[in-house]
Amino acid sequence: MIVRPTSLSCLVWLGLVLAGCSNDNEDTSTDVVVGLTTDMAVGFDFYELERTLKVDGVVTQSELVSYGAGNLRLPAELPAQAAEDGATIELSLAALRIGEHVPMVTRTATTRVLEGRSLLLPVSLEEACVGVACAANATCMKGACVDPFIDPSSLPAYDPTWIESVEDACKTASSGAPALVVGKGQMAFASLTEGEVVPIEPGPQGGHHVWLALRVTGLRQMGSTLKVNGFYPDLDYKLSPFSSQVTLRKADGHCELYGIRFQVDRGIAVDAVRGLPLDVTFTLTDPTGDAATAETKVVIAP
């Protein structure tokens, strides 16, 4: 397990960052910070991640993190412990699907500490490397086996704002502005027509709900917050909003969120809303503050 310092100067970035810290009278600079990213969907394409960090061949951090346990979120930072000038930093990653023990993709990266500089070492788990086997002295990048060593003089200076603009499985340079398309479905996304009659079903803890879904572009795959509002214009009645932190699923050219359970009779009798139109508004906001909103009208089944 990673040993975390307890100093109050420890920095946490949006719950995604693991950062080193120290006492006020000590040097607080970090020699090398690993920036972990992926173009795959965490929780869907892979479920667990084994990561090991070595300094001059000595293991300083080693752990298995998982989506189910809530401690696998990407992008993220992993700082190396302070080391002397010229010390070798080596990171090994192995991504596993749920219930499997053989990694679906592995990645290693090594560099050296440069005295007086705090460096960012970008390391990505890439879909192009799934199933690619490399020799012991090589690692896979962009589908090809290459030397895992990265010259520290080529690395950028560490800047904590890197995490705001880095690409991930759902938010890339080509994905465009944030946008939502409203659909329906519990286990998959299906198209939804404006004014469509939608069935309702009783929930496990009372009330009645519809299953809604979203197609998403331009927003982060993990850590986005979904807010859903409902309004019955015929009754001039506003439903209490639903809010949750969500993980999107990667699809062809976009990402999806389905199985959105929205209660249609919160604070009102279900018989009073049967056959009535319901205006539904979705707002999805990612950890960088980018957001998209979409509206639709459905009719509650009689």
Q: Which two tokens stand for residue 126?
A: 């890439």
In whole angstroms, what is the distance from residue 277 CA to residue 233 CA?
A: 7
Which phi and psi (to 5°) does residue 272 adopt?
A: -80, -15
The number of domains in the chain is 2
Question: Does residue 246 lie within any of the structural domains?
Answer: yes
pTM of the model: 0.79
Tell me, yes or no, whether 203 and 246 share the same domain: yes
Q: Which of 165, 192, 208 is the last residue of a domain?
A: 165
- Amino acid 205: pLDDT: 81
Using DSSP's 3-state secondary structure scheme, residue 212 falls into strand
Tell me, yes or no, whether 119 and 73 share the same domain: yes
Residues 6+ positions from 73 with CB-CB distance below 8 Å: 15, 16, 42, 222, 223
Tell me, yes or no, whether 131 and 233 share the same domain: no
Question: Does residue 25 lie within any of the structural domains?
Answer: no
Tell me, yes or no, whether 97 and 199 share the same domain: no
The CA-CA-CA angle for residues 73, 77, 83, to 5°, reads 145
Q: Which domain holds residue 270?
A: 179-300
Using DSSP's 3-state secondary structure scheme, residue 24 falls into coil
In whole angstroms, what is the distance from residue 53 CA to residue 90 CA?
A: 6
- Amino acid 4: pLDDT: 30
Tell me, yes or no, whether 212 and 262 share the same domain: yes
Tell me, yes or no, whether 97 and 52 share the same domain: yes
Question: Does residue 223 lie within any of the structural domains?
Answer: yes
CATH of the domain at 212: 2.60.40
Question: Does residue 27 lie within any of the structural domains?
Answer: no
Question: Does residue 204 lie within any of the structural domains?
Answer: yes
Q: Are strands 196-198 and 291-300 parallel, antiparallel or unpaired?
A: parallel
Q: Which of 101, 131, 165 is the last residue of a domain?
A: 165
From first to last of the 302 residues of the chain, give the pLDDT tens digit. 333 332 222 222 222 233 333 334 444 455 899 999 999 999 999 999 999 999 999 999 999 999 999 999 999 999 887 778 899 999 999 999 998 999 999 999 999 999 888 999 999 999 999 999 999 899 999 999 999 999 999 999 999 999 988 888 999 888 889 999 999 999 999 999 999 999 999 988 889 999 999 999 999 999 999 999 999 999 999 999 999 999 999 988 899 999 999 999 999 999 999 999 999 999 999 999 999 999 999 999 99
Tell me, yes or no, whether 135 and 55 share the same domain: yes
Q: Which of 96, 130, 165 is the last residue of a domain?
A: 165
Question: Does residue 4 lie within any of the structural domains?
Answer: no
- Which candidate, 57, 56, 74, places its Cα nearest to that of 65? 74
Using DSSP's 3-state secondary structure scheme, residue 187 falls into coil
Question: Does residue 127 lie within any of the structural domains?
Answer: yes
Tell me, yes or no, whether 111 and 159 share the same domain: yes
Tell me, yes or no, whether 43 and 119 share the same domain: yes
Give the helix/strand (H/E) hosting 163.
Answer: helix 162-165
Tell me, yes or no, whether 223 and 157 share the same domain: no
In whole angstroms, what is the distance from residue 18 CA to residue 10 CA?
A: 9
Cβ neighbour number for residue 161 with a 10 Å cutoff: 9
Tell me, yes or no, whether 247 and 150 share the same domain: no
Tell me, yes or no, whether 157 and 226 share the same domain: no
Question: Does residue 2 lie within any of the structural domains?
Answer: no
